[in-house]
Structure 1
Amino acid sequence: MSLTIDITGLPHERISFGPSPLAELGAALHALSEPGHHAGLHGWATTTTAALKPELADRLHEADFMWRSTRSDFLLPPQPRETLAEELDDLDRMDDERYVGAALEISCSTQYADGLPSPLVDSHSRRRALDLAAARGPRQYAFVERMLADPTGTRAWIRRLLEDCDDAFFADTWRRVRLQLAADARHKTELLRRKGLVDAVAAVSGAMSLEQDAQGTRIVIDKLVHGRTHTEGSALTFLPTAFGRPHLIALHARGWQPVIQYPVSTRELAGTAPVETVKLRLEAVAHPMRMRMCRNLARASYTTSELADAYGVSAPEVSRHLAVLRKAGLLTTQRRGRYVLHQLDVTVVARLGSDFLEAVLR
């Protein structure tokens, strides 16, 4: 599974890297809502939450469905500005149908990415949004009902909320991270200019790759979701974030310019495995016999015949199980004379939990 952005024919000058205060505020709000996703931000999240005035904390809780599980698309601007105020002004120019559809996309519109009509103009989408909001509780239902009845007033309320967050904590945070994000964006831009898109994409994230063939050129993002979009007639924007890890977010809804928000390099998680590799390894260790064999293989090296004797099964059956573990990259093998010894690679197995978490949160 993966997200694919078709960039066939897109000139390099329409690929841009730049920090966005609105996107970074969205990432920071997500980190406050889901601190368990961001162990490295625990101190910042604890300190910031403790300093919030109860009234602001209550309003943030009311609107957090727009950034708790992921980010509403309007929080990822395709044209980053210098200030939050400028980006909020750009947001104010968005029409109500587009804004409301994006605001409700995460928890109130499971088919948003397919290009369904806005709930402001389509009765089915409206009923669906209210039904899904009701399942989230009366508070979210009331918020969605208010947004559908008075989009202009609700949009003004959201802008004031974001401005109050800027006053309360984000302005200081942005001053501290802005230079780092700008430096990263300059580095990626220079990499694109000097070495090309392959190197620039690889530098953004190990979970991204560039594919080129007779059908065109595509950026492929290794994620546990499936999606496809293109840059035809638009551009591609990369937004660095200091608050994003482990998330790699790609705006890919129909009718929106593709935007990728990527965590800046601090210490890249060593050896993070692709999604398919994580799946292969989980399936390999889930089998009862292989799990029992791992008990031995974790303690010492064994030959096929020794394992067959220990578990009372045939050597060919043991070989089949060992082949599955080997294909998943969970075994080390060494030859000693005419014997082949197998042992569990405990370093790889120890990373399996973090690799799985990285895959599902990416």
Structure 2
Amino acid sequence: MIVILTALDLEYEAVRDKLHGLRPHTHQHGTRFEVGELPGGGRAALALVGKGNHPAAVLAERAIAEFSPAAVLFAGVAGALYSHLELGDVVVATHVYAYHGGTSDDDGQHSRPRAWEISHHADQVARHLARRVPEKVRFGPIAAGEVVLDSVTSYHARWVHEHYNDAVAIEMEGAGVAQAGHLNSALPVVVVRGISDRADGTKTTTDRQRWQEKAVANAANFAVALAAELNRSLPKNPRSPVVDPTTPAVVTNNSASGNASVGIQAGQVYGAVNSSQSRPAAGIAEQLSGFREELRHARRAGLVSEDDYSAAEAELTVAGKSLAKTPPDQRKLLTALKRLVGLVSDVAELASRLATIIGAVKGMP
């Protein structure tokens, strides 16, 4: 899964047109995503964050928490800071500068630079891809601030030139997204920008000449192609919890009196269970509980359809009841687990977890 973010509706539509099988996905706090298939396979979640580093950072963080992507891409337009860049060129940020940081005292304004560097892996994939696409792709630092720059003589223009004179383009969201990635275990973030103007007072003219649409299309083409490449080369879900099957299961000892009976809970309790559940059964119950949580996460991330999720929950119910019996009904438990494999076979992490559980069930005494 790759997350792709945009700031403008025009940028969003350009990326959206290149994804297939789109379906809506609404975050619990209302943020609307669309999840679809990338060309050549793999999935992407697309969102519109609006203008500015602050909303970009918040919604990037929200997308990362919701989908646990392998990488985050930001696709959009930027203004060129140097004349060697041509309108329509694509720029991939090697560094993103947050250029508004600084101090002001009696001696004047002093810069306090902040910068985030593209991950080596993502940089290598992007450079290799750039050799194979029709768009002219350039690599260099990008400055991200909170204003639309359309001058070479304004205070902001002079500030950027003085303190960030290797920046080749300027925009308004890259720093926020880069910070969100940095705070999530240095998740790879790639900022892809199409040059729509020269940030020199001619923006109105270039907009009338429809350079924004051309730059958006080029950035979207490269960003979607890069997302597909990263989806194939990066771990699908680097922060998924991994259960080591060699780790001894935790067993909870319970006591009961009278006619009461207690047991291990695997997500839900189904009727009366036995107080003497074996250590292997307890370990399997714990693994089933972990699998259920991963299944719910995959559903939220759009990796499992609603129909498959409902069917999988039904099989987990059967598995839980079969495991709670004394002795566990191994045949029904294996049947339910094998049906689960068929339902989640497209999600490698879930299928791998089930294979471990099935092996443990087959090894039960």
What is the TM-score of this pair, normalised by structure 2? 0.25
* Bigger Cα Rg: 2
Higher share in strand:
2
Q: If the length of structure 1 is used for normalisation, what is the TM-score?
A: 0.26
